[in-house]
A = this chain, B = another copy of it.
Amino acid sequence: MFENTERTELSALGEFGLISHLSKHFISKNDSTILGIGDDAAIVKMGDAYIAISTDSFIEGVHFDLMFHPLKHLGYKAVAATVSDICAMNAIPTQITVAIGLSNRFSLEAVEELYEGMRLACEKYEIDLIGGDTSSSRSGLILNLTAIGQVDPKKVTYRKGAKPNDLLVVTGDVGGAYMGLQILEREKKVFIEHPVMQPDLETYDYIVGRQLKAEARVDVIKLLDELKIIPTSMMDVSDGIASELFHLGQASAVGFDIYEDKLPIDPQTIDTALAFDLNPSIMALNGGEDYELLFTIDQRDWDKIKNNPDFTVIGHANELVNSYKLNTKSGNSFDIKAQGWEHFSKD
């Protein structure tokens, strides 16, 4: 009954382009809105408190594949991924809401598995599930989670704030979740072609676990507080370090130098990448879904983290805006390209 005359494909903008295009028409007017669109979470002032709030969608066939993602793990991962955005603001997550769309393919028993995973994650992260919405869907499972958390206004950490010479730190290790996905995709193909074969996942337990059983680093936020460190900028590694580096750099108006030999990569990630004929460092830079934290700290804070195996300094910020360099083991220097995880790909 109505039609558009012009037509611009969404793929022409990409995901980040679309968000920035749409959000420019929205101007925040409430005093309570401290930070709107453009960071891992929004920040709202309520009374004397700062609240971080973030929302995440998980759509079957786009974000997950139920052929290899057990529902219990999926529920856990959805909570972890959403909570991770709250951590990225240096906030402690406290509550979550879950909206779910279900096609009639799903039985009550299947939904119970999913919620059992969410319950376990809520228990782990000490957050409460406080609300939601349930509806039918015409095509599979759709999840939307919104998490909130609390942060001391003096400690809130944005993407902006990194200064030249700040140290760039990443928690845990990176690239594993992406390599785990490659294994699962490969085993899925084998299974489809030869249904009697059972997948061999034991050899890849760590990286498959990184993909299927993601964890949010709430522990790191608590540890930073104990160590009396307030990062100068921070975000979570959901799209890959390379992509996140661009976000931190753009928001903070700095460039970054990172060092290949410092990238924390698990041996299983390295072995699997090599078996797939892939460069482990490239995987570590571009693999998504690790849900580690990437942040910058003032050099004076280095002593506080230097002996902690959970923190790795992988580089530093510099004054060269829009410059992102990878210094390789062989002594070369390359420009890093953000490949990231664009959902509206141009392919």
Q: Which residues of A contact B (CB under 8 A)?
A: 1-2, 4, 6-13, 15, 18-19, 21-23, 25-26, 28-30, 32-33, 35-37, 41-42, 44, 46-49, 51, 53-57, 59, 61-63, 67-68, 70, 94-95, 97-102, 104, 106-113, 115-116, 119, 122, 126-140, 142, 144, 146, 148, 150, 191, 199, 343-344
A55 touches B97 (CB 8 A): yes
Given A22-B112, A62-B137, A99-B57, A32-B150 contact (CB < 8 Å): yes
Chain B residue with the shortest CB-CB distance to A201: B1
9 A-B pairs (CB sep. < 8 Å):
A1-B68, A10-B102, A11-B104, A15-B134, A23-B129, A32-B95, A33-B130, A55-B146, A57-B144
| CB atoms of B37 and A134 under 8 A apart | no
Report the minimum CB–CB distance from A211 to chain B (whole Å).
Answer: 14
Smallest Cβ-Cβ distance to A19: which chain B residue = B134
Across the two chains, which residue of chain B brings its CB closest to A25?
B119
Q: Are A134 and B18 in contact (CB under 8 A)?
A: yes
A175 to B: closest C-beta gap in Å: 23
Partner of A138, one of B9, B61, B112, B344: B61
- Do B133 and A22 touch (CB < 8 A)? no
